[in-house]
């Protein structure tokens, strides 16, 4: 199978994944909530039902995973390296991407803190959800910044199959395929500037 056909298939997969994501999101909106601007709204009946389902802090602390309290300082201590990574990678992007003419990654597309609005979560659960959303969103944000950097500097696949590749990896050049390397690498660099990406 040649590279053009592989790229066509990858484009079709990306299009279908996008359509699926939109369809699932629309269904969620119809069933559970509505988004008006930046505000998320539940119907009063649903919101009231959620409040009744909330576990009290005392009950949560005494019956739901009391051993988790022991590991709390370890997991929440990770906020220091997470913040440091956030600051460093954001500084890198804002200082270097304009020089490379790479479109910047929008932080708000990756770090979304909205679970604290769920009435069925108590204070501790909301705190956990906010922390996890920040951590996983940050990793996705950093991954996209690194992916764009890799596409700019070294858009070549590895010889060995690797797990957890970013979304841009499949469009990279095959390992060992030196045919028109510079021209094809320049095309991939230009795509970073030309595309109107989020």
pLDDT value, residue 116: 82
Look at the pTM and tell me if it is higher than 0.85: no
User: Can you tell me which residue has the tokens 């956990």?
Assistant: 128
pLDDT value, residue 42: 73
Helix axes 79-100, 68-77, angle to 10 degrees: 30
The HSE-up count of residue 43 (CA atoms within 13 Å, CB side) is 7
User: Can you tell me which residue has the tokens 């920040």?
Assistant: 134
Per-residue tens of pLDDT for the chain, all 198 residues: 566 777 777 778 878 877 877 776 666 555 567 677 777 777 777 767 777 777 777 776 677 666 777 888 999 999 999 999 999 999 999 999 999 999 999 999 999 998 888 888 888 888 989 999 999 999 999 999 999 999 999 999 999 988 888 889 988 999 999 999 999 999 999 999 855 444
pLDDT value, residue 80: 97
pLDDT value, residue 143: 96
Q: How far apart are CA 54 and CA 117, in angstroms?
A: 13
pLDDT value, residue 197: 46
Q: Are 78 and 89 in contact (CB under 8 A)?
A: no
pLDDT value, residue 14: 78
pLDDT value, residue 55: 75
pLDDT in tens, 20-66: 777 766 665 555 676 777 777 777 777 677 777 777 777 766 776 66
Using alpha carbons, select from 190, 156, 182 the residue that is nearest to residue 171.
Answer: 156
Q: Are 148 and 178 in contact (CB under 8 A)?
A: no
Q: How far apart are CA 80 and CA 76, in angstroms?
A: 8
């Amino acid at each position: 199978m040649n590279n053009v056909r592989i790229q066509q298939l990858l484009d079709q997969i990306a299009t279908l994944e996008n359509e699926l994501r939109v369809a699932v999101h629309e269904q969620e909106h119809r069933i559970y909530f509505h988004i008006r601007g930046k505000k998320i709204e539940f119907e009063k009946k649903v919101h009231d039902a959620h409040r009744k389902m909330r576990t009290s802090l005392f009950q949560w602390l005494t019956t739901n995973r009391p051993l988790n309290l022991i590991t709390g300082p370890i997991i929440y201590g990770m906020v220091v390296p997470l913040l440091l990574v956030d600051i460093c990678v954001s500084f890198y992007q804002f200082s270097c991407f304009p020089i490379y003419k790479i479109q910047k990654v929008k932080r708000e597309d990756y770090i979304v803190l909205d679970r604290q609005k769920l009435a069925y979560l108590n204070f501790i659960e909301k705190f956990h959800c906010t922390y996890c959303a920040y951590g996983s969103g940050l990793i996705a944000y950093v991954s996209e910044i690194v992916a764009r950097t890799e596409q700019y500097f070294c858009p070549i696949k590895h010889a060995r199959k690797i797990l957890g590749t970013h979304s841009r990896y499949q469009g990279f050049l095959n390992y060992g395929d030196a045919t028109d390397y510079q021209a094809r690498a320049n095309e991939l660099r230009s795509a970073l500037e030309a595309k109107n990406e989020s």
